[in-house]
Chains A and B, each alone.
Chain A
Amino acid sequence: MTTINTNAPAELPSSRTLLRSTLIALVVATALLFTVVLPAEYAIDPTGVGRMLGLTQMGEIKMSLAADLAAAEAAEAALLQEGGAAPAGEEPTTAAASVADSSAALRSDVTTLTLLPNEGKEVKLEMAEGAVVAYSWSVEGGVVNYDTHGDPWDAPREFYHGYGKGTAVPGQEGELVAAFDGLHGWFWRNRTGATVTITLRTEGAYQGVRGP
């Protein structure tokens, strides 16, 4: 093989050798891409080799998960926009109220819970799709991380639909519009060194409170 890493031009590999090597690298890379990488990552499998190796199936699952995630993010963005139109306040707007499931009786609750350091707890409301709940929660003795999300009945494993989350927050108020029939609510975690107490007030169209 040609000597390399020398400054004498005569000892460099010939242009032909270099071109051939580059082409070999390109061809091998293209072959690997179309038979292994693209099937396994994106379910792109023009040769059918990926399916024979079982890699295309991996790509299909990845692509469907990516689509689910994108759909969930789009739904969340749409919801946040709705929330922006009706800013957090004491009175739910009439427009929002008309969306609510008319069959659900309005009710209100005050739920309190205590979180030890590093403890996490969840409170969920049983809501029908489109139902609206006005809520406010506040923390006594510190701040918490929160993740507001919903699960449809019989949620598949790894299902996640979020309405918003944040870190080190002393409280929050707003309106929750159920994206589907199921449980919708809050997960709080106390990452401070002291015990905190959370008071949650809810008012709107829901059937019951689950948790903490």
Chain B
Amino acid sequence: MTDRMNEAWLLRAALALLAVGLCLMGTPLEALAHGVTAGDKGYIQEVSGVLLVPFAYLGAKHMVTGYDHLLFLLGIIFFLYRMKDIGIYVSLFAIGHSTTMVLGVLADVTVSSYLVDAIIGLSVVYKGLDNIGGFRRWLGFQPSTRVATLIFGFFHGFGLATKVLDYEMSPDGLFPNLLAFNVGVEIGQLLALGAILIAMSYWRRTTSFARHAYAGNVVLMTAGFVLMGYQLAGFFLFDV
């Protein structure tokens, strides 16, 4: 009994932490002050030259506070138990988004960030549906989860690239700074992954996990649909 109460308490603590994280996400990353752009963007516009640690920090911050990336990660590791599998899938995701982020910035790819973010929303829906067995039931086979992770990783990378381009980084030291930003993204991903794994392993230990896992993935799909609608509305309002 005390054991179960303990677990319930830990789960609640994890949820509270998640809530605090969600509140922090709402903090504006930039604010227009009198004649000056404030926040991270303002900083980036003021500096030039190679600055590895600051850009690594910004990359990590972007990942830890990026709910779309975190939701997809949550979907990926939902049913992964072994550290080896987690390592493989997270590496595939990292390879995917690193490639397109660096290439996207260097080639100055200007895809609508709304469309890219809508596809990222779609990736969350896909993973939720995949987790509850939708594709196996409807298609009769399991579409490769590794290939899907890599392909959606490419799209997440384009999302990162559009954000980095919006920062208007100085061309002086762009490439090393970009790599540092990318390293930061991976560090942030590991930190976020650690938090998600802790919360998930407590959830899995509860007897109700099997029942709630299905509902959890339907909630994940819902969140993905909300992201898609939000971004598509932005696309039609501002980019068409």
Closest Cβ of chain A to B157, distance in Å, is 24
Bound Cα distance from A7 to B136, whole angstroms:
9
Q: Which residue of chain A has the shortest Cβ distance to B218 in the bound complex?
A: A21
Instruction: Find out whether the CB atom of B136 lies under 8 angstroms from the CB atom of A3.
Output: no
Beta-carbon contact of A2 and B214 below 8 Å: yes
Expressed in whole angstroms, the Cα–Cα distance for A33 and B133 within the complex equals: 26
Are B226 and A29 in contact, CB atoms less than 8 angstroms apart? yes
Candidates B36, B46, B138, B234; contact of A15 at CB < 8 Å? B138
Task: Report the stretch among A38-46, A89-97, A130-138 that lies at the interface.
Answer: A38-46
Which residues in A have their C-beta under 8 angstroms from that of B222?
Answer: 24-25, 28-29, 32
Contact A30 B46 (CB under 8 A): no
Q: Which candidate, A154-162, A173-181, A201-209, is the interface stretch facing chain B?
A: A154-162
Residues of B within 8 A of A168 (CB): 48-49, 170, 172
In whole angstroms, how far apart are the Cα atoms of A14 and B223 in the complex? 23
Binary contact track B198-240/A, C-beta < 8 Å → 1, others 0: 0000000000001101110011011111101110011001100
B182 to chain A, nearest CB (A): 22
Query: Looking at the complex, which one of B34, B49, B134, B230 makes contact with A160 (CB distance below 8 Å)?
Result: B34
Nearest B residue (CB) for A12: B133
B67 CB to closest chain A CB, in angstroms?
13
Do A5 and B134 touch across chains, with their CB atoms under 8 A apart?
no
Interface string of A11-55 (1 = CB under 8 A from B): 011110010011011101110110001100110100000000000
Does any Cβ of A come within 8 Å of B99's Cβ? no
A162, A168, A189: most-surrounded residue (chain B CB, <10 A): A168
Q: What is the interface residue range for chain B against chain A?
A: 35 or more
Partner pick for A33 among B138, B218, B226, CB 8 A cutoff: B226
| Contact in complex: B226, A13 (CB < 8 Å) | no
What 1/0 flags go to B152-163 for Cβ under 8 Å of A? 000000000000
> Are the C-beta atoms of A30 and B233 separated by less than 8 Å?
no
User: How far is B46's CA from A2's CA once the two chains are assembled, in angstroms?
Assistant: 56
Q: In residues 149-197 of chain A, which contact B (Cβ within 8 Å)?
A: 149, 151, 155, 157-160, 162, 165, 167-168, 187, 189, 191
A147 in contact (CB, < 8 A): yes
Decide: A147 near B35, CB < 8 A? Known: A37-B229, A38-B233, A168-B170.
Answer: yes
- Whether the pair A22, B131 counts as a contact (CB closer than 8 A) is no
A114 CB-CB contact with B under 8 Å: no
Given contacts A4-B214, A151-B35, contact A29 B229 (CB under 8 A): yes
**Cβ of B46: which chain A residues have Cβ within 8 Å of it?**
145, 167, 189, 191
Q: Is A84 an interface residue (CB 8 A)?
A: no
Q: Is B132 a contact partner of A4 (Cβ separation < 8 A)? A: yes
Q: Is the CB of B237 within 8 A of A158?
A: no
Instruction: Assess the A3–B210 pair: CB atoms within 8 A.
Output: yes
Per-position 1/0 for B10-48, Cβ under 8 A of A: 000000000000000000000011111000000001111
Closest to A37 in B: B230
B167 lies within 8 A of chain A by Cβ: no
Which residue numbers of A lie inside 8 Å of B, CB to CB? Answer: 1-5, 7, 9, 12-15, 18, 21-22, 24-26, 28-30, 32-33, 37-38, 41-42, 44, 66, 69, 145, 147, 149, 151, 155, 157-160, 162, 165, 167-168, 187, 189, 191
Query: Would you mind naming 9 contact pairs between A and B with Cβ atoms under 8 Å apart?
Result: A18-B138, A25-B125, A25-B219, A29-B222, A33-B226, A33-B230, A42-B237, A147-B36, A151-B35
The 3 closest A-B pairs by CB, nearest first: A29-B225, A25-B221, A33-B229
